[in-house]
Amino acid sequence: MPFSLHFSPTPLITAPSPLSKPFFLVPYYHTLHAPKSPFCSSTEHALTHQGKKEAFDRGPEDSQTLPLGLRRDAMPSHVAVIMDGNRRWARLRDLPVRSGYEAGVESLRKIVEICCKWGIKVLSVFAFSSDNWFRPKVEVEFLMSLFERGMQEDTGIFFRENIRISVIGDLTKLPKALQELMVNLEEATKNNTRFQLIVAVSYSGHYDVVQACQRLALKAKCGLIEPSDINVSLMEQELETNCTEFPHPDLLIRTSGEFRISNFMLWQLAYTELFFAQSLWPDFGEAEFLKALLAFQQRQRRYGV
């Protein structure tokens, strides 16, 4: 089956070209390793639009054709994404910040769809960091309402497409209604097996380790374990990523050209391959995701040895 793109309705506003970047930001050192496969130069040309296609094209994964150059046996099980650049995207188009976030949600929907098609089991997204609470109150409130609306609107899709939703982070800081919605959605989808979407909200890597430490301290206080017994296995049981079979991302993608982890999943990223994309999150589409996956498949993973 030839590979084809599903185009979601695109906004009517065309963007001015982003400000050109100084030479030292050209991805010479870090990003976009040129794929070594001889077929890859034709990858983008191979992406053809064949009219409107049903979202989440269902067939069994093995029969789905992957884009040229991608190998099914080398697909990452767990991809993590730092969805950076929504506000910059809006500013570059003279749009309000909320438009940037809405475009970001659309981008996320597309990536979830692609992950389902290409056989990626888990996608973790850094939706709202612990330090995002410092943003203007209006912006934070808008984000909370966007999460609520997004989860409500897509509930049907999660059930229909057999997608499991997990939420990690300090949920006590969220509005009560949103907390309840998230907890209920997690519970209702916990037996879905096709794909898992982990949404990190009010989350930080430091918070994750500290809360695991607190749970272990409580167990030690109750005499269930000795502090000296604490090992990798006990630690991982208490981390928030204990909700998934694949707690360690194979690939981390950060958009918008920033080269840092920003306190996302620190323990879990020990051996994760890092990919820094120049494009802003709302512009991060199938072609960019494909580049990231192709680069990932070229890497030789040694797991520290």
Partner 1 sequence: MEKEVMSSLKMAGNILCSASSFIRKCIFGVLRVGPIPNHIAFIMDGNRRYAKKQKLSHDGAAGGGGRYDAGFWALMVMLLYCQELGVKYITAYAFSIDNFKRKPEEVESLMASMLEKFHLLDILVKRLAVRVHFVGNLELLSNELRASAMELTEATAAYSKSVLTICIAYTSRDEILHAVRESCEQKRIDLEFDNDDDNEIKLMKVEKNMYMAVAPDPDIIIRTGGENRLSNFLLWQSCWSHLHSMWVLWPEIGVWNLVFAILNFQRNKTYHLEMRKKEKEL
- Stretch (H or E) spanning 295: helix 286-298
For the CB of residue 201, give the shortest distance to partner 1 in the complex, in Å.
16
Q: Are 121 and 77 in contact (CB under 8 A)?
A: yes
Q: Which of 275, 281, 284, 289 binds partner 1 (CB under 8 A)?
A: 275
Pairing of strands 273-276, 78-82: unpaired
Half-sphere exposure of 302 (CA within 13 A, CB side): 2
How far is 81 from 230, CA to CA, in rounded Å?
A: 30
Amino acid at 161: E
| 267 near partner 1, rule: CB under 8 A | yes
CA-based angle 162:125:265, to the nearest 5? Answer: 120
What mask, x for binding partner 1 by CB under 8 A, covers residues 165 to 204? ---------------------------------------x
84 classed as catalytic: yes
Q: Which is nearer to partner 1, 14 or 300 (CB)?
A: 300
Rounded least distance, CB 66 to partner 1, Å = 23
* CB nearer to partner 1: pick between 165 and 168: 168
Annotated catalytic residue within 84, 154, 208, 283: 84
| 220 is an interface residue for partner 1 by CB under 8 A | yes
196 forms bridges with which residues in the sheet?
122, 164
Using the rule CB under 8 A, is 232 a contact of partner 1? Answer: yes
266 binds partner 1 (CB under 8 A): yes
With respect to partner 1, which residue has the nearer C-beta, 81 or 212? 212
Q: Report CA torsion sign: 223, 229, 235, 236.
A: negative
How many residues sit close enough to partner 1 to count as binding (CB under 8 A)? Answer: 48
Q: Is 288 in the site for partner 1 (CB under 8 A)?
A: no
Asked if residue 17 binds partner 1 (CB under 8 A), the reply is no
Contact partners, residue 77, CB within 8 Å, separation at least 6: 120, 121, 122, 246, 250
The nearer residue to partner 1, 12 or 232, going by C-beta atoms, is 232
Smallest separation, CB 170 to partner 1 (Å): 10
CA distance 12 to 21: 26
Torsion angles phi and psi, residue 304, rounded to 5: 90, -10
Work out the end-to-end distance of the chain between its first and last CA atoms, rounded to an integer number of angstroms.
40
Confirm or reject binding of residue 258 to partner 1 (CB under 8 A): yes
Contact 118, 110 (CB under 8 A): no
Q: Which residues bind partner 1 (CB under 8 A)?
A: 24-25, 29-30, 130-131, 134, 204-207, 209-210, 212-214, 216-218, 220-221, 227-228, 230-232, 235, 258-263, 266-267, 269-276, 299, 302-305
Instruction: Tell me which residues are annotated as active site.
Output: 84
